[in-house]
Amino acid sequence: MSPTDPLAPAAAPDDSVLLAARGIRKSFGDNEVLRSIDLEVRRGEVVVLIGPSGSGKTTVLRSLNGLETPDAGTIDFAGGPVVDFAAPVPKAQRFALRDRSAMVFQQHNLFPHMTVIENVIEGPVRVQRVPKAQAVAEASALLDRVGLAEKRDAYPFELSGGQQQRVGIVRALALKPQLLLFDEPTSALDPELVGEVLQVIKELADEGWTMVVVTHELSFARQAADEVLFMDGGVVVERGEPGTIFTKPTHERTRRFLDRILRPLD
Amino acid sequence: MSGWQLFLDSFWPIVWGGVSGTIPLALASFAIGLVLALGTALMRLSKNRVVSGIARFYISVIRGTPLLVQLFVIFYGLPSVGLVIDPWPSAIIAFSLNVGGYGAEVIRAAILSVPKGQWEAGYTIGMSHATTLRRVILPQAARVSVPPLSNTFISLVKDTSLASLILVTELFRVSQEIAAFSQEFMLLYLEAALIYWLFCLVLSSGQGVLEKRLDRYVAH
């Protein structure tokens, strides 16, 4: 792939640590959803979180960009302050986390009152103060690259679910974040639309984007992940390369989860 | 003079009372009232208990007391504590406060109707709370609040007839004066009713146009 591919990340990955989260804890009322989670993401790495519903995967992801505020733990994002959740986190630190990452949601959360191109340039123009002409040019190149060039002036409701989600991905890419967060990006899609979205995410992984992906698509995890974390009951039960986790899981809980997903009728 | 002739002769003077009195009174009060309503709605949604408490109290007083009484307190009551306000400003103050109270609840509900994911999408593209509110939430809330706010406006247009009781020359007061002079009460009051109705028909069609425009991004 050429270095001028609009899908390529701004900086080439160099395998150094981009983000380290340590001892992340979170309770909602009496319900302890995260019990001391550690997570390290290197530049260019694809980390996939799998696990049953309610295992805390999404909460981990949302802690990484400050949508959830953990009760304890630290997040060390390269180039920024170490955010310590033991004390109230200053607004500036929460924004520092947000500004370094971008998120793709399960329910795309596109802005319904803006056209596709307006959705994509909103962050660059309003927040990052990129000149509008430049933002439009970059957004158009990205949309073209994911096959949505003709949809640039459509409203989100005029698109299929797969197209909406691809716009959601482009909106995230347009911010040129250091880290991409995917929160079950295909769970709300009709089965026949899952492929086109996973394809784009896989391409981004191949281009060297750093990403943390929460998903139930084990085939995606197997093909794209550098590291897979299996979570259950608010803890990381097992972590490792996809080849190892999927073929010889060491924990009984991992084995049962994989069995249920891969052989639901047995 | 025949009844028909009186009807024709008084038609334009009454319409003029509407155009020079009722409409500007309603427009000015609605504009100011909407600003108050938005501010009050945001205060009501504040996590700060004192701030939301003030908004709650204001809404409660406005909704819990008759508009006519509010009007009389401002125009006839305040002078006894040394505050004399002319008829027009008195009317505008009373009607604006009224729209502010009722509109606040409409706008609050509209803001709450926008899915939480929209706030989160704003945050994750780096927007502050205020920017997300302005760029993402309020445009969507506006669409939802057009029908109920149109209702508020149409009610307001009719409620401005109360201003005739504090000496503001508007549609109803003009018809009252002609009625008193000609002693044709039935004719003149029905004529006033007809002209209010015509005004409101125009407003309703305006609401339709506005709704259509704001609905362009919604699936049908």
How far A172 CA sits from the closest chain B CA (Å)?
7
SS3 A214: strand
The CATH number of the domain where B11 resides is what?
Answer: 1.10.3720.10
**Which of A59, A109, A118, A184 should be substituted to probe chain B, the one whose Cβ sees the most B Cβ atoms within 10 Å?**
A109
User: Among B126, B140, B217, whose Cβ lies nearest the Cβ of A123?
Assistant: B126
Q: Which of A155, A156, A175 sits opposite B125 (nearest CB)?
A: A175
Assessment of whether the complete model's pTM goes beyond 0.80: yes
Distance CA A216, CA B189 (A): 71
Name which of A67, A126, A175 is nearest B120 (Cβ-Cβ): A67
pLDDT at B220: 65
What is the total count of domains within chain B?
Answer: 1
B151-166: per-residue pLDDT in tens? 999 999 999 999 999 9
Give me the residue from B127, B128, B219 closest to A157, CB to CB: B219
Query: Which one of A94, A116, A127 would you mutate to disrupt binding with B, by most B Cβ within 10 Å of its Cβ?
Result: A127
Query: Cβ distance B187 to B5 under 8 Å?
Result: no
Cα–Cα–Cα angle for A146, A214, A8, rounded to 5 degrees: 35
Contacts of B124 in chain A (CB under 8 A): 65, 67, 98, 101-103, 172
User: pLDDT tens for residues B97-146?
Assistant: 999 999 999 999 999 999 999 999 999 999 999 999 999 999 999 999 99
Taken in order A165, A166, A171, A176, the sign of the CA dihedral is: positive
Q: How far is CA A189 from CA A162, A185, A204, A216, in A?
A: 7, 8, 20, 12
**According to the model, what pLDDT value does residue A46 have?**
96
- Candidates B74, B94, B96; CA nearest to B85 is B74
Nearest to B126 by CA among A164, A91, A9: A91
Output the pLDDT for position B202.
94
What is the domain extent for residue B178? 3-217
**Does B126 contact A128 at a Cβ distance shorter than 8 Å?**
yes
Mean pLDDT of B5-31: 94
Mutant choice from A62, A100, A111, A187 vs B, greatest count of B C-beta within 10 A = A111
> Residue ranges of chain A with pLDDT lower than 50?
1-2
Cβ-contact B117, A67 below 8 angstroms? no
Instruction: Give the pLDDT confidence score for residue A2 in this predicted structure.
Output: 47
Look at residues A42, A39, A44, A57 and name the one whose alpha carbon lies nearest to residue A8: A44
DSSP one-letter code for B150: H
Give per-residue pLDDT as tens, B57-83: 999 999 999 999 999 999 999 999 999
- Chain B hits for A122, CB-CB cut-off 8 Å, are 125, 135
> Alpha-carbon distance B217 to B220, whole Å?
9
